[in-house]
């Protein structure tokens, strides 16, 4: 049994995290300053999300754009693939990125590993934010302890 019921549930939960992160003044400017396009490709259920920190955001108060779907017109600098359940565990801070890469639970399909590792401390505050987002969405049933 997977954590997310379907692609819409994945987008609702993980998307809410990204939407909150893109406006967070403690996290988002650091990501924006990297001027990078990162795409996450989730499976089971399927979801493709692209973080565009290489161009000015299209929304007020945001530091970067979050685009769902594979037809963004962008060429990502970094593409990472994983099961949606692995992403769920990662955003809870329960998955060590290096261990997950070694086990091929997370695969870097494109982009340099050093760039990915450089960004890891920038996203660490999202580990605390994700359970809060799930609580706000009423999804206490999927919060990991």
Tens digit of each residue's pLDDT (9 = 90 or more) over 32-52: 999 999 999 999 999 999 999
Q: For 115-133, what is the mean pLDDT? A: 96
Q: Which two tokens stand for residue 119?
A: 């960004």
Q: Residue 38 belongs to a domain with what CATH number? A: 3.30.1050.10
Number of domains in the chain: 1
Whether 80 maps to a domain, the answer reads yes
Q: Establish if 142 belongs to a structural domain.
A: no
Q: Identify whether 143 is part of a domain.
A: no
Cα(139)–Cα(145) distance, integer angstroms: 13
Query: Is the pLDDT confidence value at 25 over 90?
Result: yes
Phi, psi dihedral angles at 46 (to 5 degrees): -80, 135
Global pTM value: 0.95
Confirm whether 32 is domain-assigned.
yes
In-domain check, residue 2: no
Q: What are the pLDDT digits (tens) for 64-123?
A: 999 999 999 999 999 999 999 999 999 999 999 999 999 999 999 999 999 999 999 999
Where do we find the tokens 């493709």?
Answer: 48
- Domain around 17: 7-132
- Does residue 59 form part of some domain? yes
Q: What distance in Å separates the CA atoms of residue 100 and residue 107, rounded to the nearest whole number?
A: 8
Q: Per the domain annotation, does 138 fall within a domain?
A: no
The answer to whether residue 144 is domain-embedded is no
- Please report which confidence band the pLDDT of residue 145 belongs to, taking 50, 70 and 90 as the band edges: confident
Whether the predicted pLDDT of 1 surpasses 90: no
Owner of token pair 């530091």:
63
């Amino acid at each position: 049994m997977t954590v997310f019921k379907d692609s819409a549930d994945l987008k609702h939960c993980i998307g809410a995290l990204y939407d909150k992160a893109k406006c967070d003044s403690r996290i988002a400017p650091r990501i924006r300053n990297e001027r990078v396009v990162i795409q996450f490709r989730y499976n089971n259920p399927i979801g493709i999300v692209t973080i565009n920190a290489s161009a000015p955001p299209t929304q007020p108060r945001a530091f970067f754009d979050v685009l769902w779907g594979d037809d963004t017109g962008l060429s990502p600098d970094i593409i990472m693939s994983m099961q949606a359940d692995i992403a769920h565990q990662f955003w809870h801070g329960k998955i060590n990125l290096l261990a997950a890469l070694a086990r091929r639970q997370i695969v870097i399909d494109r982009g340099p590993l050093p760039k990915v590792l450089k960004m890891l401390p920038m996203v660490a505050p999202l580990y605390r934010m994700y359970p809060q987002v799930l609580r706000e969405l009423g999804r206490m049933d999927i919060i990991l302890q």
